[in-house]
Structure 1
Amino acid sequence: MGDHAPDGEPPPPEVEPAGRVITTDGLTKDYGAVLALDSLDIVVGEGVTGLVGANGAGKSTLIKILLGLLAPTRGRATVLGLDIAQHGEAIRRQVGYMPEHECLPPDVSASDFVNHLAQMSGLPRAAARERTADVLRHVGLAEERYRPMGGYSTGMKQRAKLAQALVHDPRLVFLDEPTNGLDPAARDDMLELVQRIGHDFGIAVLVTSHLLGELERVSDHVVILDSGRLLRSSATTEFLDSTGTLLIEVVGETGTQDRMGQALAAAGLPCWPQGHLIAVDTTRATTDRDVHDVIRDTACDLGVGLARLQADHRRIEDVFREGGDHVLPTS
């Protein structure tokens, strides 16, 4: 990348906000019949940030605006310290983008495709070849890199799209639904790659998904959109705080769970069945003893096996139940 801005584009600022990768202020996109983004204020930092919302929540619209490919109706945003309205080209030189939809030429190999895009990004021919080989190896396409991509499986195509987003060594990558269409095993592999990019490679990641469980697994921070509005933005750990509920699994003959629940209630522990588990509300316990001791002693008195005792945690899905109109799938 050169040090000078293209003709007609103001020089980029030399200082960017510390720890901030993306900032939006009142960002709005109004199509008339549809309000895709509604006064969106978010801050995205380093690491992996998950952008979650139902289809139509505004995730892809936001990415296109941040890339300078779509103009907002109102508001402003910066990416890597660069204003999207003034520095679109400079932003795109430093950002990688993996689109959701099919974009691969079927008669071209992954090696030729990624190498071509590396050279288009400004890398010299020798450096482009070297970077192409490295990135295809990182995404798991080293052995298949010379095959035409039309014969690739869905998982391989997603890896090829990821490779082209990384080949120019960006500071930030936008990954739009990278697990779309993948089977569970391929989905796990892709999520592992996403986590490595953000944590091992040191590249900031904004990854979108409509599957809540995926973002809980790999994201440091989660931004939840609902119909173009910000529902919540916080560290993933804040979503997963303890609820004050203990989950108990007991083993034994038929009726063991019911007997255990009745005995715990009699001992002053409010409880209820939760599938094959017993949920105990520790915040409303009326016993003076330690709750864990009561559970252990009750199981011993009944002669039942205590298979599991763990704290229940909130999930990202709970945010939708509490404050949004949509409940998204978890897997």
Structure 2
Amino acid sequence: MMPEFEPDQQPVATLDQVSIRYGAQEALRSVTATFLPGAVGLLGPNGAGKSSLLKGLLGFVKPASGRLRVLGLDVHSSPLKIRARLGYMPESDGHIPGMNAVSFVAYCGQLSGLPRADATQRAHEVLYYVGLGEARYRNIETYSTGMKQRIKLAQALVHDPDLLFLDEPTNGMDPKGREEMLDLVTDLATRKGVNLILSSHLLPDVEETCERVIVLHQGTVATEGAIAELKQRRSQVFEIRIKGDLETFIRALEAIGAECHGAENGTMRVFVPGGLGPRDLFGVATRHQVQVRHLRPSVPTLEDVFAEAIGE
């Protein structure tokens, strides 16, 4: 049963008990999820089902069971109406050889229903917006990886969509280009009010640009909600580095209800339940003849939420 929402919070996309299979492989298993207006991150390890979920919402794959709705329309019965209102930035390149950026983006605009003159005008506008104005007459094959990412965003925006799907938008970009792309995503979601779903394996990208997140793991929803609320649900967090028997120390911490993450890099993040604090951690260390070299309080991050959700 899907929940009810206030009028201003009607979902832009929903999945209700959706399963997607490729032969014997089940990519999504009875997934129920809600994408509210704004910027929503879609996270998960490789093979978690992110791409299958996006393909299902786009109508590219037919679910074995369940129901998908996008912008209030049923994906199965109204796929063309939905696609006319969607912008899709795929992970892989898909430009047409021999075309310059203006011609390509204008062509994509026409495919989305814009008249030729309007499509050409919009192509110039969005190419300037994404930072390709000076290179808009160049052949796309001469573009760098970062420039190709930008043109994928431009073609997704040319017809002014109601909902934008971004699949790994910073893939292959250098640090400067990555920050510029994230600035564009943030601008779209905040200043321009575009609803978007950002699928990524890079947690910092999602934390920087999105208000909400859905985490997939092994074809199911591991957790979902507002990022700020998910982080607040966590217990106290401490960073700790020790000298001594690490495995014994971790087992002892887990015995008092703590969770340990990231031990492989020498500094652990330890989540302790309410009522416990630094004195308890030092007490465990003393009882097991472990020397605490570093201990300081920290704040929960999206990475902590993600690690707990997928059991790492």
CA shift in 2, pair 1:30/1:285, >3 Å: closer
Residue by residue over 1:251-291, the C-alpha shift from the partner in whole angstroms, topping out at 9 and shown as x without a partner, is xxxxxxxxxxxxxxxxxxxxxxx97999997953599xxxx
Larger radius of gyration, structure 1 or 2? 1
Alignment of 1:250-289 (within 5 A): 283-284=275-276
Find the aligned partners of 1:278 and 1:84 in 2 and give their Cα distance. Answer: 42
Letter in 1 for 2:142: G
Residue in 2 aligned with 1:144? 135
Find the aligned partners of 2:22 and 2:278 in 1 and give their Cα distance. Answer: 56
3-state SS, counterpart of residue 217 of structure 1:
helix
The counterpart of 1:182, out of the listed 166, 173, 176, is 173
Residue by residue over 1:272-319, the C-alpha shift from the partner in whole angstroms, topping out at 9 and shown as x without a partner, is xx97999997953599xxxxxxxxxxxxxxxxxxxxxx9622223323
**How many pairs does the alignment contain?**
266
Residue by residue over 1:66-94, the C-alpha shift from the partner in whole angstroms, topping out at 9 and shown as x without a partner, is 11121000000110000011000000000
Aligned residues of 1:100 and 1:180 also touching (Cα < 8 A):
yes
Residue in 2 aligned with 1:70? 61
Letter in 2 for 1:124: P
Alignment of 1:89-128 (within 5 A): 89-128=80-119
Find the aligned partners of 2:228 and 2:271 in 1 and give their Cα distance. Answer: 22
CA shift in 2, pair 1:317/1:112, >3 Å: same
1:161 aligns with 2:161: no
Find the aligned partners of 1:117 and 1:246 in 2 and give their Cα distance. Answer: 50
The counterpart of 1:244, out of the listed 236, 245, 248, is 236
3-state SS, counterpart of residue 232 of structure 1:
strand
The counterpart of 1:319, out of the listed 296, 305, 308, is 305
Aligned residues of 1:239 and 1:315 also touching (Cα < 8 A):
no
Letter in 2 for 1:312: S
Aligned residues of 1:29 and 1:36 also touching (Cα < 8 A):
yes
Find the aligned partners of 2:268 and 2:198 in 1 and give their Cα distance. Answer: 34
Aligned residues of 1:243 and 1:312 also touching (Cα < 8 A):
no
Aligned residues of 2:235 and 2:271 also touching (Cα < 8 A):
no
Residue by residue over 1:45-73, the C-alpha shift from the partner in whole angstroms, topping out at 9 and shown as x without a partner, is 11110001112111111111111121000
3-state SS, counterpart of residue 240 of structure 1:
helix
Residue in 2 aligned with 1:235? 226
Find the aligned partners of 2:116 and 2:225 in 1 and give their Cα distance. Answer: 42
Residue by residue over 1:181-203, the C-alpha shift from the partner in whole angstroms, topping out at 9 and shown as x without a partner, is 11222111111111111112211
Find the aligned partners of 1:277 and 1:28 in 2 and give their Cα distance. Answer: 37
Find the aligned partners of 1:176 and 1:324 in 2 and give their Cα distance. Answer: 21
Range with bigger deviation, 164-173 or 177-186: 177-186
Range with bigger deviation, 30-39 or 219-228: 30-39
CA shift in 2, pair 1:127/1:278, >3 Å: closer
Q: What TM-score comes out, normalization by structure 2 length?
A: 0.78
RMSD: 2.8
Residue by residue over 1:213-243, the C-alpha shift from the partner in whole angstroms, topping out at 9 and shown as x without a partner, is 2111111100000111100011011233264
Residue in 2 aligned with 1:194? 185
1:218 aligns with 2:198: no
Gaps of 5+ in 1: 1-15, 249-273, 288-309
Range with bigger deviation, 97-106 or 76-85: 97-106
Aligned residues of 2:162 and 2:194 also touching (Cα < 8 A):
yes
CA shift in 2, pair 1:130/1:276, >3 Å: same
3-state SS, counterpart of residue 135 of structure 2:
coil
The counterpart of 1:36, out of the listed 24, 27, 34, is 27
Gaps of 5+ in 2: 1-6, 241-264, 280-295
1:86 aligns with 2:73: no
Aligned residues of 1:175 and 1:206 also touching (Cα < 8 A):
yes
Residue in 2 aligned with 1:251? none
Alignment of 1:130-141 (within 5 A): 130-141=121-132
Aligned residues of 2:89 and 2:167 also touching (Cα < 8 A):
yes
Aligned residues of 2:13 and 2:71 also touching (Cα < 8 A):
yes
